[in-house]
Structure 1
Amino acid sequence: MRKTLLPFLALALATGLACGFGGDTSTGDEAVATPVQGLESPAADATDPAPAKSTPTKPAPGRPTPLTCQQLQTASLGSAAQPYNGYRDPIPLVDGMWSGEDGVVVQLQAPCAVGELTGDNAADAVVPVLMDGGGTGKFWQLAMFRNVDGRPSYVTMVEIGDRTPIEKVAISAGRARVEFLMRPEDPSSSVDLIRRTAVYELDGTTLAEIGYIDAPA
C-alpha cells in the first residue's frame, strides 16, 4: 500500500505547486517596461538557431547609396535650370577645382556635409565653394547636390558673401546649417567679426534661409 501511495502523493504535490505558483504573482506595484518606439529588438527567427553573422551595412533595396564628399570632387556646378554664376554651361570640376578662361578660379572647400534634404530618403550633399576672380574679392558660396541613383546632381547655390569663410556645415532634420565669419553689417558695431549660424531649407530648387543667429567671433 505504501508503494502505491508514494507516486500518488508526489503527483499531487507537484500539481499543487504548479497551481500555487503558476498564476499571476504581481502585486500591482511593479513597474512595467514599455518598449521605446524605434528601439524595439526584432523578433528572432525561430527557424534559424544559428547566430546572425556580421555583414557590412548596405542600403535598403531600391534606395540609393548616400552621396560622399569625394564624389563632389568630380561633379559639375550648374545646370540648364540653375546656371552657376551666369555661366551658360555647367562647369566640370577636376579634383574639386575649375579654372575659366576669364581668370575665375572655383574650388570646393572643406567641410562638406551629407544628409537628407529633398525628402526622398536618399542622402544629398552640400559643400562650400570659393570663387576667386583674381581681385580682392573671395566669394564664398554653398552648393547643393541632389542624390540621383547614388550620383551627385547639382541643384542650386547660395551666396554666403565676400571674404566670409565657411567653418562648419551640417545637415539635420531636412535642413542645412552653415556657420561662417562675416563683418558686422552695422558700421558702429564694437566687434570686428561676427560668427553667423544660418539655417537653410530646400524650397523647390532654392535653398531658402529660414533664420540665423549672430554671435561675436
Structure 2
Amino acid sequence: MRKTLLPLLALALVTGLACGSGSGGKKSSSSGKSSSDRGTSSRGTDSDDSANTGDPTPAAKPSASPTRKKVAALTCKQLETAQLGSPTSRYNGYPDPIPLLDGMWSGEDGVVVALQSPCAIGDLTGDGAADAVVPVMMDGGGTGKFWQLVVFRNVSGRPSYVTVTEIGDRTPVENVSISSQQVRVVYLTRPDDAAMAEVAIRRTAIYRLSGSTLREVSHTDAPYRP
C-alpha cells in the first residue's frame, strides 16, 4: 500500500509544479503586454507635444504694389498762358517759343496766333495724366486763316508743348475730343477742286500721338451746306 501511495504523491507534486510554472508565464506575458501598451502611449504623447510646442511660421505678407502718383489734369485756362514751341520742337519755324497772353500772340511780322475753342482734355500717352489738344488759328494778315491742332503734354500738372498739326486754310474746327488715347476732330473743309472760300464737307478725323507727331489714322466725310 505504501509502495503505491509514494509514486502517486510524487506524480501529484510534479503536476502541481508544472501548473504553477505555466501560470507564472502567463502573468509575465500579461505584464509585458501592459508595459508595451504604456510605451506606445508615451511615444504618442511625446510626438504630439513636440508638434504643439513648435513655433508656427507666419505667412509672408504680399508686398504692396507701388501706387502711381495722381497728377492734376490740364485745364483749357492753363493753355491761355502756355508757350507754343520748345527747344526741341519749333512752332511754325520760329526759333524761340511763342509766349501766349490770354490765348493770343502777335509777332513783329504781323502774324497773329489765337487759341480757338473748344479745347479737349484727356490722356494721350497712357500715363494716366490728362493732356490737352487745342485748335489754333494763325492769321498772316491776308485772306488766309490757317487752322492747326496743338498738343500739350501734362508734365506735373503743367502744359508742355509737344507738336502742331496743320488742318488747312479756312477750315474751321467745330469740335475736338479725346478718348482711348485718340483725338477726334470735326472740321469743315472742301473738295480738292473747290474754291478756297467754299466749304462743302464736314470731316471727322481721328488722330493719334506717335512720339512727338500727331498723325491722322482715319477720317470720314459727310456733305455740308452752310
Q: Same fold (TM over 0.5)?
A: yes
Name which one, 1 or 2, has greater alpha-carbon Rg: 2
Query: In the superposition, relative to structure 1, how do residues 134 and 192 fare at CA in structure 2: closer, same or farther (>3 Å)?
Result: closer
- Hey, which bits of structure 1, 4+ residues long, moved more than 3 A? none
| Cα deviations by residue, 1:158-200 (Å, 9 ceiling, x for unpaired) | 0000000000000001000100001112459xx9510011110
Superposition TM-score, scaled by structure 1 size? 0.69
Counterpart residue identity of residue 138, structure 1: K
Counterpart residue identity of residue 94, structure 1: L
**Deviation at 1:74?**
0.3
Q: What is aligned with 2:181?
A: 174
Number of aligned residue pairs: 156
Query: Equivalents in 1 of 2:193, 2:112: separation in Å?
Result: 31
Q: What is aligned with 1:132?
A: 139
Q: Secondary structure at the match of 1:65?
A: coil
Q: What is aligned with 2:119?
A: 112
Q: What is aligned with 2:103?
A: 96
Q: Is there any run of 5+ residues in structure 1 with no aligned partner, and where?
A: 1-59
Counterpart residue identity of residue 160, structure 2: S
Query: In the superposition, relative to structure 1, how do residues 192 and 129 fare at CA in structure 2: closer, same or farther (>3 Å)?
Result: closer
**Deviation at 1:61?**
6.6
Q: Is there any run of 5+ residues in structure 2 with no aligned partner, and where?
A: 1-66
RMSD: 1.6
Q: Secondary structure at the match of 1:180?
A: strand
Counterpart residue identity of residue 116, structure 1: D
Counterpart residue identity of residue 167, structure 2: I
Q: What is aligned with 1:211?
A: 218
| Cα deviations by residue, 1:106-156 (Å, 9 ceiling, x for unpaired) | 000000000000111100000000000000000000000000000000000
Matched, 1:68 2:75: yes
Pairing of 1:48-87 with structure 2 (within 5 A)? 62-87=69-94
Q: What is aligned with 1:155?
A: 162
Counterpart residue identity of residue 108, structure 2: E
Counterpart residue identity of residue 222, structure 2: A
Query: In the superposition, relative to structure 1, how do residues 93 and 187 fare at CA in structure 2: closer, same or farther (>3 Å)?
Result: closer
- Name the % identity: 66
Query: Equivalents in 2 of 1:187, 1:66: separation in Å?
Result: 41
Cα contact 2:188–2:199 (8 A) shared by 1:
no
Query: In the superposition, relative to structure 1, how do residues 215 and 77 fare at CA in structure 2: closer, same or farther (>3 Å)?
Result: same
Query: Equivalents in 2 of 1:158, 1:192: separation in Å?
Result: 20
Superposition TM-score, scaled by structure 2 size? 0.67
Q: Secondary structure at the match of 1:70?
A: helix
Query: Equivalents in 1 of 2:69, 2:86: separation in Å?
Result: 26
Alignment equivalent of 1:183, drawn from 186, 190, 199: 190
